[in-house]
């Protein structure tokens, strides 16, 4: 696969995921947080994490020539990230940037089957990634530019989000279809205190496909409502069509052409603008006119699989959805792509056994 002539470029956050296996399921995560208590766990899976890895490698596995663009430090964790990428295909690591003297990003993932995940995360060199790191001249001929996780990349949420706007403006000026994924800001960090609605207002006019989770969207657009609903229990169980319609309408009004809200085990909700002219920005990735995307509202459920872990499933959902555009599939005919991609990683935590998972979900050999 000619990685030096990518169809898709996936840039942004990358880290080393350390995922310990839990042989005994606790009743809740609080059992793990008792001071002085030792919890015996099984072997750890080491895997790359973050949007660059999760979405980028999933696109590559789906047969789309993909360039990975992220930053790692010149330390043991950074070398582990590069080695893990090279296991998929050595050229995939060629686009990675090595920051001398900086610490690589890592995440300790507490992923227990049947319980929501918890993350202990160090942003590391992701905090110094900037729009200037993107080698635009090397991306000539690309069709899709995807960027992930600005809430845990300091330069993209400080100074009013000017760096994030500049990044997407540059991508659009080069004729690329653009997409953006988010991460949940830590409420106690600087990222959790910024005005995300203002940042989205200046960025989304340059974003063709916006793919956050429902929780992230509600936190950024209506913090008071987010806290009220979260205080009552799991937010997704309180979600209905009215809330989805309201949030997606607000994001479309801020400038996105397509909004996809990830709903965890409930699937992916997608809504498109009524503006046919705005939707034409998707044509570089789709490779043709897509008039049947105007004013669509779709809900794609997840495939039913035996869940081993959910780490990376949202990013795989994005890859399944974005992969339909380069594959020239119209909305409404290939709208199960997101759930298909997410279902594969639910079966294979740590991005192992991908081929076996494809066969199990699709019936293919």
DSSP annotation string for 329-349? --TTTSTTHHHHHHHHHHHSG
Identify which of 123, 125, 158, 163 has the alpha carbon closest to the alpha carbon of residue 147: 163
Tell me the β-bridge partners of 44: 20
Q: In what order do the strands lie in the sheet with 66-69?
A: 66-69, 8-12, 144-148, 177-181, 209-210, 258-262, 268-272, 297-300
Fold of the CATH domain 8-26+40-353:
3.40.1190
Q: Which residue matches tokens 């169980």?
A: 237
d(CA 187, CA 193): 7
State the average pLDDT for the chain.
83
Q: Which DSSP helix (H) or strand (E) runs through 360?
A: helix 354-362
More confident residue, 148 or 29: 148
Examine the pLDDT at 163 and tell me if it is beyond 50.
Answer: yes
DSSP state of 323: T
Neighbour count for residue 275 (Cβ, 10 Å): 12
The mean pLDDT value for 101-117 works out to 87
State how far the Cα of 9 lies from the Cα of 51, in Å rounded to an integer.
11
Residue 223 — pLDDT band, cuts 50, 70, 90?
Answer: very high
Domain chopping of the chain, boundaries: 8-26+40-353
Quick check: pTM over 0.85? no
Nearest to 260 by CA among 213, 220, 292: 213
Nearest to 331 by CA among 273, 278, 284: 273
pLDDT at res. 86? 96
For residues 226 and 216, what is the distance between their CA atoms, to the nearest angstrom?
A: 9
Specify the pairing of strand 106-110 against strand 118-122.
antiparallel
Given a cut of 50, is residue 336 above it in pLDDT?
Answer: no
For the cut 90, the answer to whether the pLDDT of residue 280 exceeds it is: no
DSSP states of 52-96: HHHHHHHHHHTT--EEEE-EEESSHHHHHHHHHHHHH-GGGGGG-
Partnered with residue 177 across adjacent β-strands are 144
**Cα separation values, 205 from 255, 279, 318, Å:** 4, 12, 20
CA distance 218 to 98: 35
pLDDT band for 4, please (50, 70, 90 cuts): low
Per residue in 183-220, pLDDT (tens digit) is 999 999 999 999 999 999 999 999 999 999 999 999 99
Q: Read out DSSP for 253-307?
A: HTT-SEEEEE-GGG-EEEEE-S-HHHHGGGHHHHSS--GGGTT-EEEEPPP----
């Amino acid at each position: 696969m000619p990685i030096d002539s990518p169809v898709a470029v996936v840039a942004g956050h990358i880290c080393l995921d350390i995922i310990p296996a839990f042989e005994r399921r606790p009743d809740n995560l609080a059992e793990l947080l008792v001071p002085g208590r030792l919890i015996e766990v099984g072997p750890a899976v080491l895997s790359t994490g973050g949007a660059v890895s999760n979405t980028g490698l999933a696109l590559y596995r789906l047969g789309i020539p993909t360039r990975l663009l992220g930053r790692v430090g010149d330390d043991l964790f950074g070398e582990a990230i590069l080695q893990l990428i090279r296991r998929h295909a050595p050229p995939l690591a060629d686009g990675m940037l090595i920051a001398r003297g900086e610490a690589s990003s890592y995440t300790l993932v507490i992923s227990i089957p049947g319980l929501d995940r918890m993350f202990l995360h160090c942003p590391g060199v992701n905090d110094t990634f900037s729009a200037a790191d993107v080698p635009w001249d090397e991306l000539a001929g690309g069709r899709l530019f995807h960027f992930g996780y600005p809430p845990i990349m300091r330069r993209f949420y400080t100074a009013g989000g000017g760096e994030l706007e500049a990044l997407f403006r540059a991508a659009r000026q080069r004729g690329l279809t653009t997409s953006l994924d988010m991460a949940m800001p830590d409420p106690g960090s600087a990222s959790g205190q910024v005005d995300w609605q203002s940042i989205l207002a200046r960025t989304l006019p340059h974003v063709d496909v916006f793919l956050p989770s429902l929780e992230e969207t509600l936190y950024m657009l209506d913090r008071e409502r987010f806290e009220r609903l979260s205080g009552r229990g799991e937010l997704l169980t309180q979600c209905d069509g009215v809330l989805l319609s309201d949030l997606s309408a607000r994001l479309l009004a801020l400038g996105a052409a397509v909004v996809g809200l990830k709903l965890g085990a409930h699937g992916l909700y997608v809504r498109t603008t009524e503006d046919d002219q705005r939707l034409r920005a998707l044509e570089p990735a789709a490779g043709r006119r897509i008039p049947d995307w105007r004013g669509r509202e779709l809900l794609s459920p997840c495939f039913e699989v035996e869940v081993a872990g959910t780490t990376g499933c949202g990013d795989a959902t994005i890859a399944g959805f974005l992969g339909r555009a380069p594959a020239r599939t119209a909305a409404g005919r290939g709208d199960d792509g997101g759930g298909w991609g997410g279902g594969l990683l639910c079966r294979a935590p740590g991005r192992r056994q991908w081929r076996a998972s494809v066969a199990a979900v699709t019936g293919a050999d």
